[in-house]
Amino acid sequence: MRHNSTAANGIRRDGAVTRRRFLGSGIVAATSAIVAPYVIRSAAAKGETLYINTWGGSWERSASESFFQPFTKATGVEIKTQSPVTFAKLKAEVVTGQYEWDVTTQGQPDCVRALRENLLEPVNYKIVDPAKLSPNAITYNGIASHALGTCLAYRKDRFPNGGPQSWKDFWDIARFPGNRSMYKNAARVLPAALLADGVPRDKLFPLDVDRAFRKLDQIKPHIKVWWQDGSQSEQLLRDNEVDMIQIWNGRAAQLIRQKVPVQLVWRDAEILTVNWIVVRGTPRADLAWKYIQFAHQPELQAKFALTMDYGPANPKAFEYIPEAAAKQLPTWHENEKVAYHPDPEWTGAHMNDIAKRFNAWLVS
Amino acid sequence: MTQAATGTATIGIDRGGTLRAWFLVGPAMLFIGVLFVLPLIRIVVTSVTDPTVSLRNYVEFFSAGLYARVLANTIYTALTVTVCCLLLGYPLAYVIVRRGGTLAVILLLVVGMSFWTSFLVRTYAWMVILGNRGPVVAAFHWFGVDPAPQVLYTRFSSTLGMVHILIPYMVMSLYAAMRKINPDHLRAAASLGASPFQAFRNVYLPLSLPGVVNGCTLVFIICLGFYVTPVLLGGPRDQMIAGLIGEQIQELLEWGLASAMAVVLLATTLALLAIYNRLVGLDKLWG
C-alpha cells in the first residue's frame, strides 16, 4: 500500500492538494493580485498623468470642474492633484529632482522670486502659441490664470450699523470693536498697514517698511489669530471666531453663497495676478504647457470665475459672465478702481527680507 | 535534542554566535541607518554648508535674541506640560493600579482610546471646544460674562492641548512602574504603625519614583519637539521651536538656518537623555 506520507516540503507523493500546498499557492495568488495593479498601471500610465499643485478645499473643487475635468475629457490625460501650495516645495523639487507635481500656481511676486532662484521652466513656445492667449498673458515664465483679491471682510451680524470700510477702519478699535484676523503673509499685511496709515494707493511701492511696522504695532494686540491656510480663514469667519478678517475674495464669496452673513469690502483690496508655472526640469513639461494653454480658454476661465469669484486673466472670458456675477470679481472695473496691484518686481526682490522681519516681529 | 535542553538558555546566541546576532539585527539596522541616520547626517552637513561653509547659522541662532528666546520658551513650556501631566497622571495611574477591577479597566480603556486617537483630531477637538461656538464660551455667557475672555489661541489653550495629548504617555509609564510595587509593602508599613499617608509617602512614593522619572523624561522630550498643537491652538508668541523651524523651511527657504535649529534641538534632547542616563540608566526606560 502506498504511503501517502507528506514529504518535508509539504507535497504528497500522490500529488493531491494538501492544505499546506493550497495555502502556499493561495499566498502566491493573493500577492500577485495585490501587486498586479501597480505593475500593470506603471506600464500603461507612463506619460498619461499630469500632477498639479492646488490650494485645496473649495479652490480645488472649482478648478477641477472648470479646468481639470475638461482637460481630461479633451486629451485623455489624467490629472492628479496635491495641496497645499508652498513655495518651499517648488524649491525642494528642483533641488532634489523628485517631482511630486509639475504645475503650480503662484502670485506674480512669487514668480519673480522663483525666477531669481532659477526654479521655473522657460515657456515652451513650440507648444504654447501666444496668438491663442490674451495679450500680456505670458509673464515671468508663467501664463496668467486668474486675479485674486485679498480684501477686508466682516460679519454683518456683528456690525448692524455698518462695518469697517477700509483698512483705516480696521485699525480703529474704538469705532469697530471686535476680534480680528489677518493673513500671516508679510507681502499682504505691510501694504494694508501703510494704507491704514494714510499712504495713497498709487504711492505704496516701494514699501516704507519701517512705517508699516510702526503702524502694525498698534494693531498687534488686537489680532486674535494670524491665519495661514485659505480654509482656515473661511472657518474663522464662519464660526465667528473673528469679526473682521483679511481674506481672499473667493473664500468670502463662498461663505456668502452659504448664507453666512459676511460683507466683502473692495476698497483697499490687493489684486494679485496669479500665474500657472511649470517646475524646472520636470519630465512632464510638455504636458504641463499643453494644460496651461488649455486652461486659458475664455469659457473655462469664465466657469472658474463664476464658481470661485476670482477674476479671469483672459478678458474674453467676460463675454461669458453675466454682469451681476462680474461685479463680484476683482477685475471688474469698479472694483479695480478702489484696489491696488502689488509691484511684482519690488515684492519679488524683497520678499525674503520682509518675511523674515515680519516673522521675528510676530514672535516678539 | 541535547542542544535544545542545555544550550538554549541564552536566547539564540548559541552556535554561530555573533554572526547570527548580526544577521538578525542587520535588516533593522540597515533600515534605521539608511532612513534615519543618513538624513540626520545630511541635516548636520546642511547646517554648516548652506549657504556657505561656515558656522554662521549657529552664530545667527545664538546671537539673534529671538531664537534663543523661543528655545527658552519651548523648554519652559515643556516643563510646565510635564508637571501638569505628572500632577494629573499620577492619581489616575494610582487609582488604576490600586483599585483594580472594572474601574481600572474602564480607566485604562479611556486612556488607551485617547492615546490611539490621532493627535491632530484631538487638537481640532480642542479648537471646537474652546472656540467661540463651543461650550466653554457658552458657559461664560451663561454666567453673564460677555464678552467672554479669550480662551483659544492663548498660552493656556496651547498648554492644555499638549497636556491632553501627552497624559497617556505619563499614565502608561507610571502604570508600568506602579504595577511592580508589591502591595504587601504597604500592609507591612501599616502593621508597623504607619498611617495611610505615611505609608504612601515613605513606601509607595519612593518605589514609584523610577516610573515618575520615566514618564517625565518621555513627556518632556516629546513636548520639546511638538509642532502642530502649539501652531493650531496657541498665539503667535507661544510659538515653540519646532514651529519656528517649520517657518524657516516653508516660508523663508532658509534651510541652513532651519537645519542648525534642528541640530540644536537634537543636541538639547540628547543632553537631557545623557543626564537621565547618568541618574537612572537608559535601560530603565523600557521597564
Chain A residues interacting with chain B (CB cutoff of 8 angstroms) = 86-88, 91, 117, 179, 224-226, 239-241, 352, 355-356, 359-360, 362-364
Question: pTM (2 decimals)?
Answer: 0.75
A120-166: per-residue pLDDT in tens?
988 888 888 888 787 778 888 888 888 889 999 999 998 988 889 99
Measured between alpha carbons, how far is B19 from B137 in angstroms, rounded to an integer? 64
One domain for residues B165 and B109: yes
Measured between alpha carbons, how far is B203 from B182 in angstroms, rounded to an integer? 10
Measured between alpha carbons, how far is A246 from A225 in angstroms, rounded to an integer? 11
Measured between alpha carbons, how far is B5 from B9 in angstroms, rounded to an integer? 8
All domains of chain A in start order, with CATH: 49-147+273-331 (3.40.190.10), 148-272+341-363 (3.40.190.10)
Residue of A nearest to B64 (CA): A360
One-letter amino acid of A356: K
DSSP output for B105-151: HHHHHHHHHHHHS-HHHHHHHHHHHHSTTSHHHHHHHHTT-SSPPP-
Q: What is the dihedral of CA A240, A241, A244, A247, to 10 degrees?
A: -100
Task: Give yes or no for a contact between B183 and B122, defined as CB atoms under 8 angstroms apart.
Answer: no
Instruction: Give the residue from B132, B237, B255, B259 with the most A CB atoms within 10 Å of its CB, the best one to mutate.
Output: B132
Instruction: Give the gap in angstroms from C-alpha A360 to the nearest C-alpha of chain B.
Output: 7
Q: Which of B132, B239, B249 faces A241 most closely, judged by CB atoms?
A: B132
One domain for residues B38 and B142: no
CB contact under 8 A, A355 and B252: yes
One domain for residues B100 and B198: yes
pLDDT of amino acid B1: 47
One domain for residues B254 and B191: yes
One domain for residues B31 and B122: no
C-alpha cell belonging to residue B239: 510659538
Range among A262-271, A307-316, B84-93 rated most confident: B84-93
pLDDT of amino acid A165: 92
Percent above pLDDT 70 for chain A? 87
Range among A118-122, A259-263, B234-238 rated most confident: A259-263
In-domain check, residue B91: yes
Give the model's confidence band at B134: pLDDT under 50 very low, under 70 low, under 90 confident, else very high.
confident
* Residues of A in Cβ contact (< 8 Å) with B239: 363
Question: Is residue A37's pLDDT more than 90?
Answer: no
C-alpha cell belonging to residue A25: 499557492
Give the model's confidence band at A34: pLDDT under 50 very low, under 70 low, under 90 confident, else very high.
low
The overall average pLDDT reported for chain B is 86
Percent above pLDDT 90 for chain A? 28
In-domain check, residue B195: yes
Give the model's confidence band at A13: pLDDT under 50 very low, under 70 low, under 90 confident, else very high.
low
One domain for residues B29 and B110: no
In-domain check, residue B92: yes
Q: How many CB atoms lie within 10 A of CB B217?
A: 21
- DSSP lists the bridge partners of residue B276 as none
pLDDT of amino acid A31: 62
Measured between alpha carbons, how far is A212 from B133 in angstroms, rounded to an integer? 34
Measured between alpha carbons, how far is A94 from B248 in angstroms, rounded to an integer? 18
In-domain check, residue B20: yes
In-domain check, residue B262: yes
pLDDT of amino acid B161: 95
Task: Give yes or no for a contact between B70 and B64, defined as CB atoms under 8 angstroms apart.
Answer: no
Q: Write down the ipTM of this complex.
A: 0.72
DSSP state of B153: T
A230-239, A294-303, A315-324, A341-350, range with the lowest pLDDT: A315-324
Q: How many CB atoms lie within 10 A of CB B197?
A: 8
Measured between alpha carbons, how far is A176 from A161 in angstroms, rounded to an integer? 10
One-letter amino acid of B79: L
CB contact under 8 A, A363 and B237: yes
pLDDT of amino acid A230: 85
Q: Is A158 exposed, middle or buried (0-12, 13-18, 19+ CB in 10 A)?
A: middle
Instruction: Give the residue from A91, A118, A229, A363 with the most B CB atoms within 10 Å of its CB, the best one to mutate.
Output: A363
Q: Which of A86, A224, A226 faces B150 most closely, judged by CB atoms?
A: A224
Q: Of residues B281 and B101, which shows the higher confidence score?
A: B101
One domain for residues B35 and B129: no
**Range of B43's domain?**
15-49
Measured between alpha carbons, how far is A39 from A86 in angstroms, rounded to an integer? 32
One-letter amino acid of A232: Q
CB contact under 8 A, A356 and B252: yes
Q: Which of A86, A355, A363 faces B239 most closely, judged by CB atoms?
A: A363
In-domain check, residue B97: yes
Give the model's confidence band at B165: pLDDT under 50 very low, under 70 low, under 90 confident, else very high.
very high
* Residues of B in Cβ contact (< 8 Å) with A363: 66, 69-70, 236-237, 239, 244
Give the model's confidence band at B4: pLDDT under 50 very low, under 70 low, under 90 confident, else very high.
very low
One domain for residues B244 and B281: yes
* Residues of A in Cβ contact (< 8 Å) with B244: 363
pLDDT of amino acid A261: 93
DSSP state of B226: -
In-domain check, residue B42: yes
One domain for residues B99 and B183: yes
B210-231: per-residue pLDDT in tens?
889 889 989 998 999 898 899 8
Taking one residue from A and the other from B, the number of pairs with CB-CB distance under 8 angstroms is 46
One domain for residues B27 and B69: no
- Block residue for cell numbers 515653540: B240
- How many alpha carbons fall within 13 Å on the CB side of residue B253? 18
One domain for residues B40 and B162: no
How large is the average pLDDT for residues B89-104? Answer: 92
Question: Is residue B105's pLDDT more than 90?
Answer: yes
Q: Which of A117, A226, A240 faces B236 most closely, judged by CB atoms?
A: A226
Sign (positive/negative) of CA torsion B267, B268, B269, B272?
A: positive
* Number of compact structural domains in chain B: 2
CB contact under 8 A, A87 and B235: no
Question: Is residue A65's pLDDT more than 50?
Answer: yes
Residue B108's domain is classified under what CATH number? 1.10.3720.10
pLDDT of amino acid B8: 47
CB contact under 8 A, B70 and A226: no
CB contact under 8 A, B132 and A239: yes
pLDDT of amino acid B7: 46
In-domain check, residue B272: yes
Measured between alpha carbons, how far is B199 from B228 in angstroms, rounded to an integer? 42
How large is the average pLDDT for residues B272-280? Answer: 81
B182-219: per-residue pLDDT in tens?
889 989 999 999 898 888 888 898 889 888 988 998 99
Measured between alpha carbons, how far is A208 from A83 in angstroms, rounded to an integer? 34
One domain for residues B25 and B78: no
C-alpha cell belonging to residue A245: 478678517
Q: Which of B66, B235, B252 faces A364 most closely, judged by CB atoms?
A: B66
* Residues of B in Cβ contact (< 8 Å) with A359: 247, 251-252
DSSP output for B43-95: HHHHHHHSSSSSSHHHHHHHHSHHHHHHHHHHHHHHHHHHHHHHHHHHHHHHH
pLDDT of amino acid B215: 92
